[in-house]
């Protein structure tokens, strides 16, 4: 093994390897990435991982193995960059073996095409209390009886991924989540934005509720406590609003990136994003936009650099839609229909002096004044 002293990456995936154990003289000084995914590893002992105790910030991939037992504290005192146990059904067994370990990323989720998601109980996650992790992935499992106790050992996390976990609401009495910065609630079944009880996550900077299976009502001020939120993704969530979005996005003064694409329709009256004047990116692709004002609904977005209005059916609204957008760099109007076949006002782009890229494909344009 002496000739492998500079080895940094070892990929052994999709074989028939039954054990994680490496030779005692295996060179681990520079090892940073070790991939054992899709093998036949079922049990892991402390002896199996003893050689890896010489590593630091290792990425260890064990997803797709049917692990049924890990010796208690087998990974104790070890420091990883990423641990991936994706698709391993028995989370309690995994956490028992990880007691005393440290990692940045901990992947315990499963996958859409795997019939391995399990119903997560509060007791299953208790083992996380004695594991140091920043980022936890539990995607494609189930939370049929989620409670505040579910989050009891998650208070030190910076990011939680709960995508496709059959959630309809989060408990209103969650406490201690002040370190959480990113929350992924994609592909769930919320019916009201207020049902996430955002007051429990005061320091969030990123929130994603994309691909919601139910019609998501935005409510009024449901996110008002998230004054530090910078990135909000509500795309493809069957949203419609008759007066968007001053009340719905009340309190989001730090918001920089907003994605409302692939929703139903939004009526924009007066100043649509009144408290979101720091927006830099606004994506409304394939969401019908209706305006009934001669003044631009985005006219307070003086910092906006990217505006995607592809397939928004804005029609002649282009005449005032660009008001106030002096910082705009990219404008996408692909798939909108201009009845006259031309821009009605040849001065329309005087409002966007910094525009570098404009997309007008498939707008039935016959001339550009």
- pLDDT per residue, tens digit, the chain (369 aa), is 567 889 999 999 999 999 999 999 999 999 999 999 999 999 999 999 999 999 999 999 999 999 999 999 999 999 999 999 999 888 999 999 999 999 999 999 998 877 666 788 888 999 999 999 999 999 999 988 899 999 999 999 999 999 999 999 999 999 999 999 999 999 999 999 999 999 999 999 999 999 999 999 999 999 999 999 999 999 999 999 999 999 999 999 999 999 999 999 999 988 999 999 999 999 999 999 998 767 889 999 999 999 999 999 987 677 789 999 999 999 999 999 876 656 656 677 889 999 999 998 988 777 666
Q: How many CB atoms lie within 10 A of CB 94?
A: 22
What gap in Å lies between CA 353 and CA 326, rounded to an integer?
Answer: 6
Check if the beta carbon of residue 107 is closer than 8 Å to that of residue 84.
Answer: yes
Tell if the pTM clears 0.85, that is, is over it: yes
Nearest to 141 by CA among 180, 159, 115: 115
DSSP alpha helices (H): ranges in the chain?
91-97, 318-321
Q: How far apart are CA 230 and CA 252, in angstroms?
A: 8
In degrees, rounded to 5, the angle at the alpha carbon of residue 76 between the alpha carbons of residues 50 and 117 is 100
């Amino acid at each position: 093994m002496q000739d492998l002293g500079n080895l940094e990456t070892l990929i052994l995936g999709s074989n028939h390897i039954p054990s994680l154990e490496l030779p005692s003289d295996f060179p681990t000084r520079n090892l940073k990435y070790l991939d054992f995914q899709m093998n036949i590893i079922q049990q892991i002992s402390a002896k199996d991982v003893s050689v890896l105790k010489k590593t630091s910030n290792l990425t260890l991939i064990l997803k797709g193995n049917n692990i049924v037992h890990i010796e208690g504290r087998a990974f104790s005192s070890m420091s990883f960059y990423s641990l991936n146990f994706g698709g391993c059904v028995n989370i309690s067994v995994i956490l028992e073996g990880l007691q005393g370990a440290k990692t940045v990323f901990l992947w315990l989720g499963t996958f859409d095409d795997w019939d391995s998601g399990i119903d997560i109980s509060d007791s299953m996650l208790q083992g996380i209390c004695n594991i140091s992790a920043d980022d936890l992935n539990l995607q494609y499992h189930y939370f049929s009886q989620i409670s505040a106790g579910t989050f009891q050992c998650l208070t030190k996390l910076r990011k939680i991924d709960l995508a496709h976990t059959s959630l309809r609401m989060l408990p209103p009495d969650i406490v201690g989540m002040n370190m959480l910065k990113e929350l992924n609630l994609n592909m769930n079944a919320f019916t009201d934005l207020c049902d996430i009880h955002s007051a429990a996550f005061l320091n969030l900077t990123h929130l994603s509720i994309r691909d919601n299976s139910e019609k998501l009502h935005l409510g009024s001020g449901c996110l008002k406590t998230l004054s530090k939120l910078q990135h909000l993704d509500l795309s493809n969530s069957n949203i419609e609003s008759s007066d968007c979005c001053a009340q719905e996005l009340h309190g989001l003064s730090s918001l920089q990136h907003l994605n409302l694409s692939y929703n139903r329709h939004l009526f924009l009256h007066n100043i649509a994003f009144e408290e979101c004047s720091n927006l830099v990116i606004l994506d409304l692709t394939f969401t019908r936009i209706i305006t009934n004002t001669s003044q631009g609904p985005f006219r307070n977005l003086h910092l906006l650099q990217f505006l995607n209005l592809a397939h928004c059916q804005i029609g002649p609204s282009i005449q005032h839609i660009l008001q106030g957008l002096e910082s705009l760099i990219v404008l996408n109007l692909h798939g909108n229909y201009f009845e006259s076949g031309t821009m009605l006002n040849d001065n329309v782009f005087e409002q966007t002096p910094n525009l570098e890229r404009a997309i007008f494909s498939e707008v039935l344009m016959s001339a550009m004044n």
